[in-house]
Structure 1
């Protein structure tokens, strides 16, 4: 049985972040995290009455083990304090709004896992705001588009997660195109075993992936991307400014990889984020690869005890249909 954090266990890190007089008076484990625990902690004895605590404890990670996966690979599971801190520093340095870090600890002296205490941004997600207050939501979308322009305009000669590059590491592979193709073929093989619709046309999908990859021309230079950016990964603060969260996967990569994720996640709102000059060959390959990933990944997660099962099943079903729709007629 998984053990999640409680107020007494979190009190040490909260006091370190807010001061010795701070006292935990309530803890909520927030829904949605599959790789880390996200807790809203209510306090008294400090001017700051709420903080968010991220816990990267083993019991907070619902994904199956990734034995044999190179942790420096751009598509390796992006989770942990080091990737989070590197991404937070990078984005904050660019003026891209992210939650402020109040305290972090990889020494496990005050809590038995890597942990960070961060600002609790007062406001809702962009996804919720677009429903409840579309005028404010659209204004935040416009500001988000500017933030993405800043990020995507940062150019790097090498691709890879920022924490890997920051410590002088090198990402695997020869190109973004190659990495996406290899991952897509693996995802196709896995999805074909788990979803009968995919299995029935696996050969056609494999041929289509290779055909699309052959159309992609070589490229040098890569932009800075979030990697998994939907309206649920953007908070909107009290002043209406967007704030990026779930940033551990921040990396230099083809910006088309970001856009094929933005397009379905923002739906009819995507035109506010669309930009000219994207490579249509990369968009075609990356779109099919993304759909296959969003079949294999959620179904793999359901092998374990992830609690929000209908959500994951719905994601897999939707993306299976979307992948099939991309086959030539």
Structure 2
């Protein structure tokens, strides 16, 4: 049985963050968190009506442990207070809106795990606003386009997660495209073991990945990308600005990786975010790799006890269909 946080676990933490007169009156664990717990804590006795608490407790991580994980791999699981704070520093430096921090504790003095108490920007994500308030969503989407432009134009020679680069480390691999290919081949192998439809075309998918990778030419600069920038990872503040959340995976990488994810997750809204000058060969390779990742990853997560199983299965089915559709037709 997982021990998730309850009101008595978070009351003292929130009081420390907001002042001695503050009292927690309700706690809700928000849906969707698979690597950390995300809690909305409603309070009395403070200027704010609520805050968000991030908890990186081991019990909050639903992903099965992976053997031999290389922490220098940009695609290694990104979780914890340190990558969160490094990502915020990088985004703050570019003027990108992220929730304000009221308290961050990596010493486990106030809680059994690393925690952060942050601004509760809004109860609605951009994804929800597309349905409930299209005009407000459209304005926020335009603001998000400005934000992603600013990030993607921030070019550096090295690729890798910002927390690693900030410490002076060097990312694994020889290039972004080779990392993507290697990961896609691993994902293909895992997916084939779990789904007979992928297994039936394993050889064709493998050959397609190698063929697409062979067409990609070297690159010397890399932009700053969120890594999982869907409309569920964007909040909208009272001024209508896009606010990025779940930023722990922030990294310098090929911006085409971000764009294939944006295209997938934003769907009909993607044209606002699309930009000229992207490398079509990278887009082709990265699109197939992303679909395979979004088959293998959710299936791996479902090996455990992640509660929202139906959502994961829908992700698997959609991306499996898309991956198969990218195979060349046989003569």
TM over 0.5: yes
2: CA distance between counterparts of 1:82 and 1:67? 22
SS at match of 1:32: coil
Contact map agreement 1:123 1:236 (CA 8 A) in 2: no
CA–CA distance in 1 between the matches of 2:198 and 2:252? 31
2:192 paired with 1:206:
no
> TM-score scaled to structure 2, two decimals?
0.98
Match of 2:223, SS state, is strand
Q: How many residues align?
A: 329
User: Which residue in the other structure is 1:128 paired with?
Assistant: 128
The match for 1:296 is 296
Q: Distance in 2 between matches of 1:81 and 1:204?
A: 41
Q: In 2, are the aligned partners of 1:123 and 1:238 still within 8 Å (CA)? A: no
Would you say the 8 A contact 1:102–1:119 is kept in 2? yes
In 2, Cα distance between equivalents of 1:237 and 1:45: 23
The SS at the match of 1:181 is helix
Partner of 1:138: 138
Q: Distance in 2 between matches of 1:235 and 1:46?
A: 23
Partner of 2:238: 238
Match for residue 257 of structure 1?
Answer: 257
Deviation at 1:218, TM superposition (A): 0.4
Deviation at 1:11, TM superposition (A): 1.8
Q: Counterpart of 2:104 in 1: which secondary structure?
A: strand
Query: 2 CA distance for matches of 1:208 and 1:101?
Result: 45
User: SS state of the match for residue 155, structure 1?
Assistant: coil
Partner-residue secondary structure (3-state), 2:139: helix
After TM superposition, list the pairs within 5 Å mapping 1:1-329 onto structure 2. Answer: 1-329=1-329
Cα shift at 1:8:
1.3
2:186, 2:176 → 1: CA distance? 16
**Distance (Å, rounded) in 1 between the aligned partners of 2:194 and 2:82:** 33
How far apart, CA to CA, are the structure 1 residues paired with 2:170 and 2:27? 40
Contact 1:124 1:237 in 2 (8 A): no
Provide runs of 4+ in structure 1 moved above 3 Å. none
Q: Secondary structure at the match of 1:109?
A: coil
Q: C-alpha separation between the residues in 1 aligned to 2:102 and 2:95? A: 18
* 1:12 CA drift (Å): 2.2
Distance apart, 1:290 and its partner CA: 0.2
TM-score normalised by structure 1 residue count: 0.99
The alpha-carbon deviation at position 23 of structure 1 amounts to: 1.3
Unaligned runs of 5+ residues in structure 2 are none
**1:72, distance to aligned residue in structure 2 (A):** 2.1
Cα displacement (A) at 1:145: 0.2
Alignment RMSD (CA, Å): 0.8
Structure 1 residue 175: deviation in Å?
0.2
Distance in 2 (CA, whole Å) between partners of 1:118 and 1:73 is 28
- Offset from partner CA, 1:256-278 (integer Å, 9 cap, x none): 00000000100011000000000
Contact conserved, 1:161 with 1:250, CA < 8 A, in 2? yes
- TM-aligned CA deviation for residue 123 of structure 1: 4.6
Residue by residue over 1:269-315, the C-alpha shift from the partner in whole angstroms, topping out at 9 and shown as x without a partner, is 10000000000000000000000000000000000000110110110
CA distance in 1, matches of 2:292, 2:202: 11
Which piece of structure 1 moves more, 224-233 or 118-127?
118-127
1:122 Cα offset (Å) = 2.8
List per-residue Cα deviations over 1:28-67 (Å, max 9, x = no partner): 1111100000000011122122100000000000000023
Structure-2 separation of matches of 1:235 and 1:274: 20
Deviation at 1:194, TM superposition (A): 0.8
* Superimposed CA distance per residue, residues 45-96 of structure 1 (whole angstroms, 9 cap, x where no aligned partner): 2212210000000000000002310112100001110011111111122111
Structure 1 CA distance for aligned equivalents of residues 155 and 240 of structure 2: 28
Instruction: Give the 3-state SS of the residue equivalent to 1:156 in structure 2.
Output: coil
In structure 1, distance between residues paired with 2:139 and 2:185: 39
- Unaligned ranges ≥5, structure 1: none
